[in-house]
Amino acid sequence: MARRYPLDMDTYRAPVRDARFVLEHITPLSALTALDAFAHAEPELVDGLLEEAGRFASEAIAPTNRDGDAEGAKVVDGGVVTPDSFKQAYDGYVQAGWGAVQHPAEFGGGAFPLTVANVVKEFITSANMAFSLGPLLTTGAVYLMQHHCSDEQLQTYVPKLVSGEWAGTMNLTEPQAGSDVGAVTTRAVPADDGTYRITGQKIYITYGDHDLTDNIIHLVLARLPDAPPGTKGISLFIVPKFLVNDDGSLGARNDVEVVSLEHKLGIHASPTAVMAYGESGEGATGYLVGEPNQGMRQMFTMMNDARLGVGLQGVAIAERAYQQALHYAQDRRQGRGPASEPGEQAAIIDHADVRRMLLTQKASIEAARALCYANAHALDLGHHADDPVVREQQTKLADLLTPLSKAWATDLGVELTSLAVQVHGGMGYVEETGVAQHYRDARIAPIYEGTNGIQALDLVGRKLPYDGGAFVKGYLGDLRSEATALTDDLAAIREPLLAAIDELGTVTTWIFEHREQPNDVFAGATPYLRCFATVVGAGLLARGAAAAQQRLDDGDTAPYGADFLAAKVTLARFFATQLLPSVHGLTGAITAGADDLYAVAPGALAP
């Protein structure tokens, strides 16, 4: 039977030009290439890297998205089998070295800035979010090991993880210990040979088992016999699927088994495993990372890297869904448009409400992308800037932006994929179109790597108090100064942005004034994060609009083109005039306090 309209579900075009614009004008790559660590990352080299990454994501990864969702990952004979299309795609990923882009050269990496590596991650994630999750956790494992492992452990595991020949995982959650990680009960008992015997069960382990790599290196939180209670008594252990011999070859199978896979709403091809350690004997062999009882501090190194990566997933999945919605809106003909002749149907992109949905998607994606890139840019400077004062300030900025990136971008991922379904009308609600998959896939991102509510608590509880509140007030001052400097031809952006910054300053002051009533502050934390991130996103779009307008005024439009640059100005204005005003409606929720949240007894909430 013929399809009801041309389908474009497997087509993805990496937004290389959009990414390049951000790297040039919003989060300047030039500030990074001025550092010795990144002097090799010249614009021409980065441009070529992004072009090739975009081509690879579009041609090699994107076609696996639909069949991966339909086929899913399965447990077969005690091991996980991934979709057939993943094998070839992953082999190509490893051979091209895409997982090594940001890692140190001493381990076989490309030593590019995280800011650049995250563009590659965005493209891969847009192409297939389920596929991208394995490399995301492997990257986090490498990052953790660089900071906390011994030289011997680094040499044993990191080169193979960097190359992608081996994979890494993060094992925190247990049935009774989700966000409350301090409740974990997995045990680690010292053995006579200096190793440890790990026993226990972990759940929700992304890529806990699969057939894409020769080995899987699990990073597992567990308790030593004499450990204190809570998070202070958690240690971190390396527990490989296969033990590694002294010469680097693979040895015996460790006592690590996949029990089952979760049946999930989305990301069906990503194996979310229940893992059992030590059920076949005295325990799985584990190797202590660093000192005992430092596991939570060590694991947060990996989690913070993963939180920015998950925020980028929100951007990536929204971009993929937007592209499909745009294609459909240009192809689907329904009703009369403003310029239609009688009896002539117009493409639905001619209808004002469809335009509103598409521009909402496009402008929001660009704001969230700029935020995530700015977050990575601050991390790069925080780690590598020559001036220690700059490193300290940029590290604080990265800490401030991380909960914004993770929570706002993933909330937008859900909202914008929902809009993409809406653009499709009734056809969006049937699986044939493929757009429903993006909506299903996006829904996990606000939950894992710290729920978005936890991100909001982190923002108001840990990040705002930096320097007694002076840091965030200084940052808001910088936002105001940059907005004030916008020229009169951008007044339609400048004035709403200044008003929103004032509103953010007002509610931020309220939070500081109510620190002695923490429950009142926590009650408004989620809308406060939304307010903060929306203002930051608008400010970053305004920065891009100012650069685009200047280039138009100068007649310097290459390599982007005049239409592209003009669109940057329009999208920033659309965001400032139609999306940014929402922050004024959040003030009541931010400052209402907690009384009404607890005024109704739980029993009275039932029907």
The kind and range of the H/E element at 277 are: strand 272-277
Check which CATH number belongs to the domain holding 287 and give it: 2.40.110.20
Q: What 8-state DSSP symbol labels residue 460? A: I
pLDDT tier at 4, thresholds 50, 70, 90: low
Residue 484, both tokens:
């004030």
**What is the rounded CA–CA span in Å between residue 214 and residue 166?**
6
According to the model, what pLDDT value does residue 126 have? 98
**What is the rounded CA–CA span in Å between residue 312 and residue 120?**
11
Residue with token string 């907005």? 483
The kind and range of the H/E element at 238 are: strand 235-240
Beta bridge partners of 274: 260
**What is the rounded CA–CA span in Å between residue 537 and residue 412?**
12
Average pLDDT of the chain?
A: 95
Lowest-confidence region among 61-70, 226-235, 369-378? 226-235
Residues 6 or more apart in contact with residue 42 via CB below 8 angstroms: 33
Nearest to 66 by CA among 54, 48, 83: 83
The residue type found at 117 is: A
Q: Is there a single domain that holds both residue 58 and residue 159? A: yes
Q: Domain boundary residue among 251, 275, 293?
A: 293
pLDDT digits (tens, 9 = 90+) for 140-173: 999 999 999 999 999 999 999 999 999 999 998 8
Q: Is there a single domain that holds both residue 472 and residue 592? A: yes
Q: State the average pLDDT over residues 384-407.
A: 97
Residue with token string 């706002």? 408
Structural domain contains residue 356? no
Angle at 300 between CA 294 and CA 303, to 5 degrees: 145
Structural domain contains residue 580? yes
Main-chain phi, psi angles of 340, to 5 degrees: -75, 145
Rg, C-alpha atoms of the chain: 25
According to the model, what pLDDT value does residue 344 have? 87
Q: Domain boundary residue among 258, 293, 328?
A: 293
Contact of 368 with 539, CB cutoff 8 Å: no
Q: How many other CB atoms sit within 10 Å of the CB of residue 91?
A: 13
pLDDT tier at 339, thresholds 50, 70, 90: confident
Residue with token string 């977050």? 375
The percentage of residues in the chain with a pLDDT greater than 70, rounded to a whole number, is 98
Q: State the average pLDDT over residues 511-532.
A: 97
Check which CATH number belongs to the domain holding 151 and give it: 1.10.540.10
Structural domain contains residue 482? yes
pLDDT tier at 175, thresholds 50, 70, 90: confident
Q: Is there a single domain that holds both residue 281 and residue 146? A: no
- How many Å is the maximal CA-CA distance in the chain? 87
Distances in whole angstroms, Cα of residue 167 to Cα of each of 158, 222, 395, 569: 10, 20, 28, 42
**What is the rounded CA–CA span in Å between residue 437 and residue 127?**
13
According to the model, what pLDDT value does residue 8 have? 58
According to the model, what pLDDT value does residue 39 have? 96
**What is the rounded CA–CA span in Å between residue 293 and residue 79?**
32
Q: Is there a single domain that holds both residue 246 and residue 130? A: no
End-to-end CA distance of the chain: 47
Q: Is there a single domain that holds both residue 146 and residue 172? A: no
pLDDT tier at 583, thresholds 50, 70, 90: very high
Q: Is there a single domain that holds both residue 145 and residue 269? A: no
Whether 464 shows a pLDDT value over 50: the answer reads yes
pLDDT tier at 2, thresholds 50, 70, 90: very low
Q: Domain residues for 154?
A: 16-163
Nearest to 405 by CA among 417, 416, 397: 397
Structural domain contains residue 62? yes
Whether 596 shows a pLDDT value over 90: the answer reads yes
Structural domain contains residue 332? no
Whether 261 shows a pLDDT value over 80: the answer reads yes
Residue with token string 């149907």? 345
Q: Is there a single domain that holds both residue 543 and residue 559? A: yes
Whether 178 shows a pLDDT value over 70: the answer reads no
Cis peptide before 559 (omega within 30 of 0): yes
Lowest-confidence region among 56-70, 257-271, 330-344? 330-344
Q: How many other CB atoms sit within 10 Å of the CB of residue 595?
A: 10
- Name the more confident of 353 and 338: 353
Q: Is there a single domain that holds both residue 32 and residue 54? A: yes
Burial of 388 (0-12, 13-18, 19+ CB in 10 A): exposed
Q: Domain boundary residue among 163, 185, 213?
A: 163
- The answer to whether residue 152 is catalytic is no
Q: Is there a single domain that holds both residue 271 and residue 203? A: yes
Structural domain contains residue 36? yes
Whether 1 shows a pLDDT value over 90: the answer reads no
Residue with token string 């053995």? 191
Q: Is there a single domain that holds both residue 150 and residue 175? A: no
Beta bridge partners of 188: 198
> How many structural domains is the chain composed of?
3
Whether 385 shows a pLDDT value over 50: the answer reads yes
Structural domain contains residue 237? yes
Beta bridge partners of 79: 76
**What is the rounded CA–CA span in Å between residue 94 and residue 76?**
25
Contact of 219 with 141, CB cutoff 8 Å: yes
Q: State the average pLDDT over residues 449-463.
A: 96
Q: Is there a single domain that holds both residue 139 and residue 247? A: no
Structural domain contains residue 500? yes
Q: Which of 122, 174, 449, 503 is catalytic?
A: 449
Q: Is there a single domain that holds both residue 31 and residue 143? A: yes
Rounded (10°) angle between helices 16-25 and 114-127: 160
